[in-house]
Structure 1
Amino acid sequence: MTGLSSFSPERILVCQLRQIGDVLLTTPSIRLLHERYPAAAIDVFTEKKCVPVLENNPHVRRVWALDKKALPNFLAELRYYARIAAENYDLVVDFQQLPRCRFVTLMSRARVRLSYPPPWYNRLLYTHWATPVHGYSGSYRASILAPLGIVWNGQGPEMFLTEKEKGWARDYLAACGLVPGTYVTLDPTHRRSTRLWPARHYGAMIDQVHAARPALRFFILYGPGEEAMVREVLNSCTATQACILPDTVIGLRQMAAVQSMARLHVGNCSGPRHFAVAVGCPTLTVLGATSGGWRFPSEIHQDIFLDLPCRPCNQNRCASNDHACLENLPPERVSQRLLAMLGP
C-alpha cells in the first residue's frame, strides 16, 4: 500500500448500504472527508430506505439510492453499478464490504479503494485498508479513514432539518396538545428479542414517571408493523393520559423533527436513539444484548443495563432463553434514571 499524504481526490464515493441507523452513523465520516478535501464532491451509495437521513446534508453532492425492486436481475444491477462507476471516482470508501459494495468498488477503478482489512480473497479489490479502532460506533467507522490522515475528534451523527420540517413538527405537536420541551419521545419497539425491554416494564416505567411528573408526556414512536408492540405498552400502563400515540407511522425526518423538540429520548438500542443524538436530544437507552459502543460519548447520552456475566453478548438469540438482562432490569431503575436526567 502506498502513502496518501499527497493524495487529493476530486470525486469521492462512500459505500454504506444499510441499516438506517448505520448510515446515520456514517455522517461523521462524511463530514471528516469534506473537511479533509473541501473541494471534492462526495457521493453516497446506500439503499433507498436510508436516503432520508442524508437529505439536505451539505457535505453530500449525490445519493445513489439502491432500489432492489427496480433492478429485477443481475444484469440490471450491473448496468446500475456501471452508471456509478462512470462518475470516475478517485476515492471509494467501503464501510461494509457487502457484495453490492464490492461490485461498485471493483467497477469504479478508483485510484484509492479504502476499507477495513478484507479477507484474503477480496484483497485485490482494495488498495488501502485500516484496522478499525474499537469504541463509539461513529468513531469506529471514522478510524477506517486513518490512511488519509483523518482522525475522529468527537464528531457526532448529523441530520439537517429544514425550517419547513420543524414547522410541521410544531404544528403536529400542537394538534396533539403538546409544545416543545413538555414531552419525551419513547421507542419501546425492536425486532430482536435480545434488545426488547418488556412492554410491561415500559408500562410500569410510564406510570412511575407520571406519578412524579404528571405534566410530562410520552410521545410514542413506532415503525411499520410495530403498532401491536406499542399497544401492548399502552395496555400495560394505567397512565394512558400521559401517552401520545400517533394515528399513523410518521416519516423518519418527521420523527427527527419531533425528537429535536423533546426533553429527552428513551427506548431500546435501535435507530431512533441515533436520530435523537443527531438532532441534539439527550438519550437514555435500555440495553440488553448490545454493548455501550453505540452510545455517543457525552454525559447527556446514557445507557442503563443489568450487569450480568453473559452480557453484552451481541447476539440475536438468548443462549439461556430467559432474556435475564432485560426481564430482570426493574422499571424503577429506569424511571429513576430518567427523572434524574430530566432534572428539577
Structure 2
Amino acid sequence: MKILVIQQKRIGDVLTSTIISNNLKKYYPDAKIDYMCYANCVAILENNPNINEVIVLEEKVRKNYLSLAKFIFSIKKRKYDAVIDVYSKLESNLITFFSGAKYRISYDKGYSNLFYNHNIKRVEVGTKSDIGLAIINRLLLLKPLIKEEIIDYKPKIFLTEAEKLQGLALLKQFDIKKDKPIFMFGILGSEWYKTYPIEKMAQIIDFTVAKTNATILFNYIPSQKEDAQKIYDICKNETKQNIVFDLYAKELRGFLGLLSHCDALIGNEGGAVNMAKGLNIPTFSIFSPSVDKETWQIFEDEKNISIHLKDLKPEIYKQFTEKEIKVETFKYFEEYPFELLLEKLQDFYKTIL
C-alpha cells in the first residue's frame, strides 16, 4: 500500500500532522508512507521512522501553472492508494484529485466533493477537549483507513544521538553547565500578533532568573536579532548575567538538539512550543488573544501550561470576534492579569524543578 500525507503550512502544523503517518505505519507496517510539505519544514520530519520519503512542493512550482501541472503529473505517476490532504487548499485539492488514489481524504468544505471521495466533518470550535481539536480533527482523517480506536495521538520528534551530542557540545562551547536549570525562551512569535509585548516578556525573564537562577537562552534566528536585542536591553542587569545571548542554533535540527538539553521552554505559543512537546520538554506558553485556543491548547497538564485570554476573561469573546481582537492584539494582551501570569509561572517552576 502506498499513502501520501499532505500538510503544507508552518512547522507546528507539519509536526502535528505526523500523528497521521505514525498511526498509519502502526496499522499498515508494510506500507510506503510519504509526506508532502514546504521546504522550510522538511527538517522537522527527519529521522521519523514512519515516513519513507518527504516530498517538497517548492514555492517556484506553486507559483507557476505549468510547473504545478508537471508536479501533479509526477504525483500521479507514483500511483498512491490513498492521499490524506490535511492542508485542503486549491493546490492540494488538485494534487489529490489527479493522484488517481482509491482513497482521497480531506475535510468537508461543501465544494470538497469535487475532489475527494471521503469528506470528513471537523469537530467544531468550542468543543471541549483534553488533547486539542488540532489533534482530534487530524485523527478523524484516519477513519476511512483505520477502524480501531487510536490511542497514539502525540506528535514526536526523532533526534539522533549525534544531534543530541551536538547540542551538548554547543552548551559546553559557551561554558554552560547543567548544575542549574536551563530555560529556552520563545521571545518572539511567528507573526506580530503572536508576540507578547516585549516589555512584559523582559519582566517575565527577570522574574524567572530571580526565582530560579536559571541560565536563559533566547530562541531567535539571525534576522530577528535586532528584536531579540531589544528584549535583552530591557532586562535588569542582574538578569543579563544569566542570559547567553549569542547562543543560538543556525538551523532547525541544531535548535532541536539544543532544546533537548533544556529544562523547559517558556514564551509565545507557536511552533517552538509544539517542538518542545514533541521532545517531552515542559512548556509554559502565552497564547495570542486572537488564536483559537480550543484547537491549539494541546496536551495540557501540570508540565505543559498555557495562558489564554479566553480562559481568563471569556466575556470579551462574547462581545468581539477573534478577527476584531486580532486588529487590536496589543490592547487585548494588556487584559492578561500579569500578576496571575507570574503566579502560574512560579507554580510551573515548582512543578518541573
Choose which of 102, 107, 121 in structure 1 pairs with 2:98.
107
In the TM superposition, what is the alpha-carbon distance from 1:311 to its structure 2 partner? Answer: 4.4
Letter in 2 for 1:325: Y
| Greater Cα shift, 66-75 or 126-135 | 66-75
In the TM superposition, what is the alpha-carbon distance from 1:113 to its structure 2 partner? Answer: 0.3
Map 1:94-243 onto structure 2 (within 5 A).
94-120=85-111, 122-133=112-123, 135=129, 136=132, 137-148=134-145, 149=147, 151-180=149-178, 182-214=181-213, 216-223=214-221, 225-238=223-236, 239-243=239-243
Map 1:323-342 onto structure 2 (within 5 A).
323-342=330-349
Structure 2 regions of 5+ residues with no counterpart?
A: none
1:38 aligns with 2:37: no
Count of residue pairs the alignment pairs up: 333
Choose which of 60, 84, 88 in structure 2 pairs with 1:93.
84
In the TM superposition, what is the alpha-carbon distance from 1:319 to its structure 2 partner? Answer: 5.9
Instruction: Measure the CA separation in 1 of the matches of 2:67 and 2:168.
Output: 43
Letter in 2 for 1:285: S
Provide TM-score, normalisation by structure 2: 0.87
* Residue in 2 that maps onto 1:7: none
In the TM superposition, what is the alpha-carbon distance from 1:192 to its structure 2 partner? Answer: 3.3
| Greater Cα shift, 41-50 or 300-309 | 300-309
| Greater Cα shift, 299-308 or 15-24 | 299-308
Q: Percent identity?
A: 24
In the TM superposition, what is the alpha-carbon distance from 1:316 to its structure 2 partner? Answer: 6.1
Structure 1 regions of 5+ residues with no counterpart?
A: 1-9
In the TM superposition, what is the alpha-carbon distance from 1:330 to its structure 2 partner? Answer: 4.7
Choose which of 306, 313, 316 in structure 2 pairs with 1:310.
316
Whether the aligned pair in 1 keeps the contact of 2:183 and 2:265 (CA below 8 Å) is yes
The secondary structure found in structure 1 opposite 2:36 is: strand
In the TM superposition, what is the alpha-carbon distance from 1:35 to its structure 2 partner? Answer: 1.4
**Which string of whole-angstrom CA distances, capped at 9 and with x for unpartnered residues, describes residues 170-226 of structure 1?**
000112222457211101112434322111111111112212222x01110013532
1:293 aligns with 2:295: yes
In the TM superposition, what is the alpha-carbon distance from 1:317 to its structure 2 partner? Answer: 6.1
Whether the aligned pair in 2 keeps the contact of 1:209 and 1:335 (CA below 8 Å) is no
Whether the aligned pair in 2 keeps the contact of 1:32 and 1:150 (CA below 8 Å) is no
Instruction: Measure the CA separation in 2 of the matches of 1:285 and 1:275.
Output: 12
RMSD, aligned α-carbons: 2.3
Whether the aligned pair in 1 keeps the contact of 2:61 and 2:68 (CA below 8 Å) is no
In the TM superposition, what is the alpha-carbon distance from 1:127 to its structure 2 partner? Answer: 1.0
Distance 1:273 1:322, change over 3 A: closer
Provide TM-score, normalisation by structure 1: 0.89
In the TM superposition, what is the alpha-carbon distance from 1:278 to its structure 2 partner? Answer: 0.4
| Greater Cα shift, 108-117 or 300-309 | 300-309
Letter in 1 for 2:332: C
Letter in 2 for 1:165: E
